[in-house]
Amino acid sequence: MRIGANTWLGYEPLFLARQQQTLPQGVSLHEYPTTAETLRAFRNRNLDVAALTLDEAVPLLLDDNQAAIALILSHSHGADALLGQAEFKQVTDLRGKVVGADSLTLGAYMLGRALELSGMDKKEVEIRSVSLEQQEASFLNREIDGLVTFEPILSRLQRQGAKVLFDSRSLPNEILDVLVVRPQQLNKGQRRQLRELVKVWFEHTETLVTQQETAMQLVMKRQNLYSNELQHALTLLRFYDREENQRLLTGQDSPQLRRTIENIAQTLHRLGLRPATTIPPQQPLFTSIGME
């Protein structure tokens, strides 16, 4: 079974499992420089499982009725942000300026919502596509005035004086991370691997939540963060446990999560990021095969 993820801090439990050799037998983790590439690989069926933000997963769910959410990983509470150069104090200061974003993924959504909630239109800024591997250099070289990014890049740029103008705390229940699969495409062995992967995921999230020394050292090295930066970054996201997943995917909170997905679909349309699309009421958006 092949799983894909990018370098977002919230996916680190997967990479900890790979580093500590606790991934289930036969499961391979593929690292992509951007979520757009993870999404493309999943669409092209080069991956069996994809780690995505919910706003990236929603278009996939709209376009592929075989895809479903198998796990809610984490919730960003300030770990995704719109940064400005040191002289900027608020989002409206970016009017007429150049803002970098990974325009195909979360960046476009975050920027659109930041501008919208600040009473601005996206036409009032120049949006420049900047890939994750180029973001730090582009910002530090002042090629851009603002940047939509996330941890660990967020902490590394704050270290250099970047100012947070807007972050995901202003978007409750919108910036979630999920695992997406095509349940009908998984054979019996892959379903077993997915269940084992979910178990390993929860084990490694616990090592970060409790800030166990070995896990923290591995993440600090991989993400190029100082100890205090990692500790702070972990306060900006919250990992969901097994019980919360059961409520959200199959229990009493499932209708609420479905409404959140429908609202994000409407927001994507309002921001001009995709055509208007209605999710059929009978379309299953969630699967419990990883929790069985």
Does this model's pTM top 0.75? My answer is yes
What is the SS3 assignment for 119? Answer: coil
Tokens representing 205 are 């999230």
Pairing verdict, β 80-84 and 146-150: antiparallel
Helical segments of the chain, H only: 12-19, 35-43, 54-63, 106-117, 132-140, 153-159, 188-209, 213-223, 227-234, 242-249, 254-270
- CA–CA gap between residue 138 and residue 15 (Å, rounded): 27
Tokens 């669409």, residue located: 43
By the 8 A CB rule, do 240 and 248 touch?
Answer: yes
In 10 A of CB 238, how many CB atoms?
17
Amino acid identity of residue 276, one-letter, is: A
Give per-residue pLDDT as tens, 45-54: 999 999 999 9
In degrees rounded to 5, what are phi and psi of residue 210? -90, 0
**Dist. CA 102–CA 117, nearest whole Å:** 20
The pLDDT tens digits along the chain (292 residues) read: 999 999 899 999 999 999 999 999 999 999 998 888 899 999 999 999 999 999 899 999 999 999 999 999 999 999 999 999 999 999 999 999 999 988 656 688 899 999 999 999 989 999 998 988 899 999 999 999 999 999 999 999 999 999 999 999 999 888 999 999 999 999 999 999 999 999 999 999 999 999 999 999 999 999 999 999 999 999 999 999 999 999 999 888 889 999 999 999 998 898 888 888 888 888 899 999 998 8
